[in-house]
Amino acid sequence: MMLQTNLDRAATLKFPSQAVINGKLVGAKTGKTFANIGPRDGKPLNQVAEGDAADIDAAVAAARAAFEDGRWRNKHPREKKRIMFKLAELMERDLEELALLETLDMGKPISDTRAIDIPTAINSIRWYAEALDKVYGEVATTPVERLSYVVREPLGVVGAIVPWNFPLHMACWKVAPALAMGNSIVLKPAEQSPSTALKLGQLALEAGVPDGVLNVVPGLGEGAGQALARHMDVDLIAFTGSGEVGRKLMSYSGESNLKRVALELGGKSPQIVFADAENLDAAAEAAAWGIFFNQGEICNAASRLLVEEKIKDAFLAKVIEKSGKYMPGDPLDPRSVAGAIVSEGQMRRVMGYVGKAQAEGATLALGGKQVRTESGGYYIEPTVFDKVANTHTLAREEVFGPVLGVISFKTEEEAVKLANDTVYGLASGLWTANISRAHRVSRQLRAGLVWINGWDACDITVPFGGAKQSGFGRDRSLHALEKYTELKGISITYA
């Protein structure tokens, strides 16, 4: 589809603006709204209901009532599956609309929202629908006069708080397994990107998800988000976002009802390139993609590139050559490979890190500037710093933007030490043709994910989540079901 066609469609697009609570589309009880700003041109897209504690109360009450009367949890598994498949079908029907909403809300290229974000979200719904009747309980090895069995039961009311970098995709990583296990949900999307979550709530109703089972309350983090996380009748907060908010969620839990908290936080993920890598061109491609995909606004961004010293200069030249295609363009232009940064605040934050890297002595090898300023939107060119020390702020803190730091090493031991010298532990990667080294190093890396000779080899079948301050709990795969269920042991003693 051409840019003009996308512009025409965007001009007539209807942005969802109301919360979805107990099967109804409603405004905030206070009547308040907030402006949803489009990062493509810095202009408001629409006004959205600003939910707060009263709206969260209503949504949690609806979710609890739905859970208690079993309208979803006790449905025949075949029926739950049919409804979730229907939801996936409706998302596919509205894929173009969802892709446009996501691109305009968040600034990412339309080619990505069409080919990656929305299809991945749909796949999550389908995958967990397929899984829901394939999870078995256990029979324990008890003395012969007793039978003990272990079942997984839904937790109850799940609060899902999601970020703006993959709005629908992250929402579905949580909503799909939570629904599949029979829970009721209150979803709080990020203020920067509420549209697709609200649309998901509407489509769920159309698909036949009963009223009150999936509620979506837009609002601000300190308002609706905090009220949800402090609520006395929420059983779990499933969160993706910053470590700063992750810490608050744990305090809120301690200060309220000790609800469970599952955190998928950020990273400072290392990609290690050894001189013996078989295909340095592919490694350079992955180095660029690993940091510039999604404008670098990705928790598992390969933001630290560790390169063996003897190939560093030649390899850096290759990375710089591959980085050119990530020069941002109009997110609505199907030819754009990179788009806008999500907000003015995030753009300033990223530019702050660029300034700090220079001040601390790293060498700017590419980019470093805002571009497309005439659009009114928020764009930063792909930026690469050479001669970064692992002690520099650029190597320690999550930038969440298109900024790569290159660090060189001499030995395998030093590479592993540098890779692990971070408070984070989400993803990591290495390039080598030596199979012993590949296995040895991958076992030494402290991270939830290790990719060998590739980056972001993601699949719904493989758990996603981190070690150390990258959080705990896993999204994706059957392991994700664990956090949405309670284990119950039942024992029958024979007469």
Tell whether residue 354 is a contact of ligand NDP (CB under 6 A): no
| Beta carbon of residue 266, minimum distance to ligand NDP (angstroms, whole number) | 4
Q: How many residues line the site for ligand NDP (CB under 6 A)?
A: 27
Establish whether 172 is a catalytic residue.
no
DSSP E strands: which ranges in 82-156?
138-139, 146-154
Alpha carbons 181 and 178: distance in angstroms, whole number: 5
27 binds ligand NDP (CB under 6 A): no
- Which is nearer to ligand NDP, 273 or 403 (by Cβ)? 403
3-state secondary structure of 359: helix
Strand 157-161 and strand 236-240: the pairing is parallel
**Interacting residues of 353 by C-beta distance below 8 A, sequence separation 6+:** 393, 394, 397, 399, 401, 403
SS3 state of residue 317 = helix
Q: Are 125 and 470 in contact (CB under 8 A)?
A: no
229 is a site residue for ligand NDP (CB under 6 A): yes
Q: Which helix (H) or strand (E) holds 53?
A: helix 53-69
CB of 354 to ligand NDP, least distance (A): 14
Q: Is 326:297 a contact under the CB 8 Å cutoff?
A: no
Which of these is catalytic: 102, 191, 264, 381?
264
> Exactly one of 36, 113, 195, 226 binds ligand NDP (CB under 6 A); which one?
226
Helix ranges, 256-295 (H): 280-292
Q: What is the C-alpha separation between 181 and 203, in angstroms, rounded?
A: 19
Query: Residue 210 has what DSSP assignment?
Result: P
| Residue 400 binds ligand NDP, judged by CB under 6 A | yes
Q: Which of 102, 285, 299, 412 is catalytic?
A: 299
Angle at 141 between CA 140 and CA 144, to 5 degrees: 115
Smallest separation (angstroms) from ligand NDP to the CB of 399? 7
Task: Verify binding: residue 241, ligand NDP, rule CB under 6 A.
Answer: yes
- The amino acid present at 106, given as its one-letter code, is M
Show Cβ contacts of residue 483 under 8 Å, excluding neighbours closer than 6 positions: 236, 238, 260, 262, 473, 474
What is the contact mask toward ligand NDP in residues 146 to 185, using x (rule: CB under 6 A)?
---------------xxxxx--------------------
Min dist. Cβ of residue 239 to ligand NDP (A): 7
51 belongs to the binding site for ligand NDP (CB under 6 A): no
Residue among 266 and 425 whose Cβ is closer to ligand NDP: 266
Query: How many Å apart are CA 315 and CA 332, to the nearest integer?
Result: 33
Among 40, 80, 248, 312, binds ligand NDP (CB under 6 A): 248
Is residue 299 flagged as an active site residue? yes
The CB-of-93 to ligand NDP minimum distance in angstroms stands at: 27
Q: According to the binding rule CB under 6 A, does residue 447 interact with ligand NDP?
A: no
289 to 348, contacts with ligand NDP by CB under 6 A?
299, 346
Q: How far apart are CA 75 and CA 82, in angstroms?
A: 11
> End-to-end distance of the chain based on CA atoms, in angstroms?
72
Binder of ligand NDP out of 156, 182, 212, 266 (CB under 6 A) = 266
CB of 350 to ligand NDP, least distance (A): 8
CB of 341 to ligand NDP, least distance (A): 10
- Which neighbouring-strand residues pair with 384? 366, 404
- In degrees and rounded to multiples of 5, residue 321 shows phi and psi of -65, -40
* Residue with smaller CB distance to ligand NDP, 25 or 220: 220
Figure out which of the listed residues 42, 221, 334, 463 binds ligand NDP, where binding follows CB under 6 A: 221
Residues 67-96 that bind ligand NDP (CB under 6 A): none
The answer to whether residues 164 and 106 touch, using CB atoms and an 8 Å cutoff, is yes
CB of 230 to ligand NDP, least distance (A): 8
Distance from CA of residue 7 to its chain's centroid?
Answer: 27
Of 198 and 229, CB closest to ligand NDP: 229
> Given the rule CB under 6 A, which of 88-96, 98-106, 237-245, 382-390 is the region that contacts ligand NDP?
237-245
Question: Which CB sits closer to ligand NDP, 229 or 351?
Answer: 229
Strands (E), 232-374: 236-240, 260-264, 270-273, 304-308, 363-366, 370-371
Q: Which residues are catalytic?
A: 264, 299
Q: Point out which residues bind ligand NDP (CB under 6 A).
A: 161-165, 188, 190-192, 220-222, 225-226, 229, 240-242, 245, 248, 265-266, 299, 346, 349, 398, 400
